[in-house]
Amino acid sequence: MRSIAKRLITLMVAVAITISTAIPVMAEYDNSKVYTTIDGVKYYMDGTKLMKDGKKVVNFRELTYKYQDTEITAEMMKTLLVTDLTHDKYNGHNIIYAVGLVFKPEPIDYNDTSSYKNGLVKVGTPYMLVISYCMDAPTKDIEWYKDKYLIMEGIAKYDPLWDAPYTSELDESKDPTEDDTKDMLYNFAAKVVHPRIIMSAKYSHKAYILAQDVPSDDVPSDHIKLFSFNTDRNLATANKTIVPELYMTFWWLNDFGKKYGDYEVKLDRFYIKEQKKDVITVYNFGEEISVAVSSNISEYSKPVLENMYWQYTEQLPIE
């Protein structure tokens, strides 16, 4: 057995041995530093499991979802990467909110030339999820949790990823002309912003979510978007639950950071902080240079840039 790491080499070797179907296997992640604290007690992640004092509280993989054309299956939930946690207290009950990513692999037929684009194949489609967990459910005190304890609060479907698997394990004892199925280790989360969520200290039952957004006619470049998320949901219409507040393109952040040194947006190192009422700071910690952007979002659809900062990452107290 030998490992082929370079993407194009992997693709060419895969074609040479006529692998008819590849099975993307998700890379494993250590997300144990993702946590929230409730009444002095730390709740943290271990893979897809929410933990407390070394014991499982709930496994977020248990949740699936299907409505109209949107479906998050049990197989997709096996790929779940929880990237942030927060909590709220509602009607006396503690509710934990989780944001993260899942992946829907695409069957790859290396013998089908229509599966290729610029030498790459469609590996699959990532999704962003917002999940809530009521620690005291089932309960009649909150309508949403009267017969369940996990709820899918929001889903964002991203564009499919065209790529080549990073690592292919090839069996050299086999006839290279033989059709075969191989597992391909694929790090889908390296291609998507790791979403973040915080509860507002200035507004009751309001959270902020930072996540990647799909390029559109309005914003054709890759960008992140900040959303406000109403955790009360006692609203007349559901479309007021999650509201977009501002966006930032990657190229805009890159241009700012590069003025001061070697900087490039790191998809897994975005963070948000509520500085004061209606003022949110978005951070991105790069390898050498880190940047922060503060904006006032008090007027809907008209965010106002208040300040931009930069700092050498090695001088920041971050892990």
Measure the CA–CA gap between 91 and 89, rounded to whole angstroms.
7
Instruction: Tell me the HSE value of 190 on the side-chain side, using a 13 A CA sphere.
Output: 10
Summarised one tens digit per residue, pLDDT across range 267-298 is: 999 999 999 999 999 999 999 999 999 999 99
Q: Are 53 and 43 in contact (CB under 8 A)?
A: no
30 residue type, one letter:
D
Contacts 24+ apart (CB under 8 A), 143-147: 144/233, 145/93
Instruction: Using alpha carbons, select from 19, 6, 5 the residue that is nearest to residue 110.
Output: 19
**pTM to 2 decimal places:** 0.87
What proportions of the chain, in percent to the nearest 5, are helix, strand and coil?
15, 50, 35
Measure the CA–CA gap between 260 and 289, rounded to whole angstroms.
7
Name 241's Cβ contacts closer than 8 Å, sequence gap at least 6: 153, 154, 229, 230, 233, 235
Bridge partner list, 243: 228
- The full DSSP string for 264-277 is ---TT-EEEEEEET
- Domain chopping of the chain, boundaries: 1-191, 193-319
Matching residue, tokens 């959303």: 227
Query: What burial class does residue 67 get, using C-beta atoms within 10 Å of its C-beta: 0-12 exposed, 13-18 middle, 19+ buried?
Result: exposed
Which regions of 53-179 does DSSP assign to beta strands (E)?
A: 55-59, 65-67, 70-72, 81-90, 93-105, 116-117, 120-134, 150-157, 161-163, 167-170
pLDDT at 219: 93
Measure the CA–CA gap between 283 and 319, rounded to whole angstroms.
14
Measure the CA–CA gap between 236 and 165, rounded to whole angstroms.
46
Summarised one tens digit per residue, pLDDT across range 126-136 is: 999 999 999 99
pLDDT, one tens digit for every residue, the chain (319 residues): 333 233 333 333 333 333 345 566 777 788 999 999 999 999 999 999 999 999 999 999 999 999 999 999 999 999 999 999 999 999 899 999 999 999 998 877 767 777 777 778 888 999 999 999 999 999 998 888 999 999 999 999 999 999 875 554 555 555 555 555 666 678 899 999 999 999 999 999 999 999 999 999 999 999 999 999 999 866 444 445 889 999 999 999 999 999 999 999 999 999 999 999 999 999 999 999 999 999 999 999 999 999 999 999 999 987 6
The secondary element (H helix, E strand) that includes residue 28 is: none
Measure the CA–CA gap between 227 and 78, rounded to whole angstroms.
26
